Structure 1
């Protein structure tokens, strides 16, 4: 059964390894693991790590260059802007990659005369560079919105005026708007401002794990009502604070499927096993037992069958729901 992972940070590993002189990183390091996990397609994000938040624009541009240089020479990476660009991973030996951004604080340094001009210019440039997805914040607040995990409080929570402008620009470009990392105020601001269905690419059910990044029942229902997607996150802190296990991860799948329907579920695993060797400014090492990395995904699918998901439901959660959403969004 093929898998569409709607949130991956593997670009961070590629950038670090390239900066240390390695080449062919996607093909050598990531492709064999992804193949073992049955991954066919992914949304992979460019993310400015905590260690570089004082100068996010410089870091963003360097990461983008390092990663794109690696993908350009790859035999196994297939960069897509619509589903028409996709190819079957088994037959082609390629993985379909959709490019995204996680955190847009760099917009404030983009270099135009105003933040409004920065948004217009940056979105157009990123669109030309094949990016089709955005999360406005990462554990921070910025000129666009407020998120969870910030060490200080913003003056006002929710989308700002320019954040609403960014939503409109993303809608005009048919980008995927992603609410993961938003606080509740920003979530509802984007829900009200967007004319297109949004996703939460790597967030679980707050009712089962009271982590502020997880989604309340009302949030889950709001995403589903517009035809959006919830991507199940395998990071331990979002699964269970005391006992993050494979079955507890599946509990989130069962809960959300019962609440809004399995057609609104996907996987956004947020695997971080490959980030631990790098000095990112914060430790990223926690994982769910028996779901520590992408090679464990086939075991997950087998266990979900045992837990009562039908083959049609599982094919939807694993791949078809994300494919259908991307087909609808990426025109």
Structure 2
């Protein structure tokens, strides 16, 4: 099979990107980060949809302001961009699936910006939020991250129910295991891990146990594989090959209907990148490897984006 042909004729989705933070950090330079830097790269990688995450650094007092500025910057660039749209509805999704525009799904890498006001989820939903993690690596009013102990707070449990009601995908990446199982017990909708890998292959706190992987699959959700935390030798040693080792294990454990991509490319923020997966222009390398490792075209298309399309269709109005 010709991997280039398959890639070109697939819907390709990256379920985790820090583009809003990159825009926020450069806003005073008057650069059009989205349209001049990221969209050209996404086109070269033939990416159709990207989950773009709000991420705040001024915890806790400044997080609301930072989130609002990031959304404002996003809207400001999209207002004058004919190449991309923000996906809020099934109609928006279908426009992306049928056309040549890139679709962005507004997500959140932690809900610090709502503080202890679950009702604010409605406000952010109206602004376009369609996916969110309760917290990043640390503790907030809702939950505890991978480096903290403790499950969801009462407010966190209320937030999950409200996210289900509104149509905001619950993302469990960066959550600790106690909080994860609280969500599994509460959520009535598919849950995702937008950028997580297999702990059985690489024993890192950010990776998922086999039981967690199977639980996500049981909800109808999807796990997007991250380009980090794939090497047994530690961070900075990640390669396309170590990524594919996790990919094969995840397909075997979760099933082909529950695996996707969530690279977390952020060399543009000064971080290191996996060799062979430095940025979104390298995504065709994954398609090539899947074909080389004997996966059928139907399976490859599910992993590249079809599985995340299914989740989006299940929550979008």
TM-score normalised according to structure 2 size:
0.91
Q: Using the TM superposition, give the Cα deviation of residue 197 of structure 1 relative to its aligned residue in structure 2, in angstroms.
A: 1.5
The question of 1:11 aligning with 2:4 is answered no
Partner of 2:243: 249
CA distance in 2 between partners of 1:241 and 1:172 (Å):
42
* Counterpart contact for 1:10–1:274, Cα < 8 Å: no
CA distance in 1 between partners of 2:94 and 2:165 (Å):
27
CA offsets, 1:23-65, max 9 Å, x none? 3x2221111100111100111111113x655522222222222
Partner of 2:4: none
CA distance in 1 between partners of 2:48 and 2:263 (Å):
14
Partner of 1:112: none
* CA distance 1:289–1:240, shift in 2 (3 Å): farther
* CA distance 1:138–1:241, shift in 2 (3 Å): farther
Within the candidate set 136, 139, 142, 1:141 is matched to: 139
Partner of 1:127: 125
* Counterpart contact for 2:22–2:269, Cα < 8 Å: yes
CA offsets, 1:121-141, max 9 Å, x none? x11111111111111111111
* Counterpart contact for 2:59–2:112, Cα < 8 Å: no
Q: How does 1:1-331 map to 2 (within 5 A)?
A: 1=7, 2-23=11-32, 25-49=33-57, 55-86=62-93, 92-108=99-115, 115=116, 118-120=117-119, 122-149=120-147, 153=148, 157-235=150-228, 237-242=229-234, 243-276=237-270, 285-331=271-317
Q: Using the TM superposition, give the Cα deviation of residue 86 of structure 1 relative to its aligned residue in structure 2, in angstroms.
A: 2.5
In structure 1, the gaps of 5 or more residues are 109-114, 277-284
CA distance in 2 between partners of 1:81 and 1:238 (Å):
32
Alignment coverage as a number of residue pairs = 306
* Counterpart contact for 2:114–2:121, Cα < 8 Å: no
State the secondary structure of the residue aligned to 2:108: strand
In structure 2, the gaps of 5 or more residues are 1-6
State the secondary structure of the residue aligned to 1:288: coil
Q: Using the TM superposition, give the Cα deviation of residue 18 of structure 1 relative to its aligned residue in structure 2, in angstroms.
A: 2.2
TM-score normalised according to structure 1 size:
0.88
* Counterpart contact for 1:87–1:96, Cα < 8 Å: no
Q: Using the TM superposition, give the Cα deviation of residue 89 of structure 1 relative to its aligned residue in structure 2, in angstroms.
A: 5.8
CA distance in 1 between partners of 2:70 and 2:284 (Å):
31
* Counterpart contact for 1:26–1:77, Cα < 8 Å: no
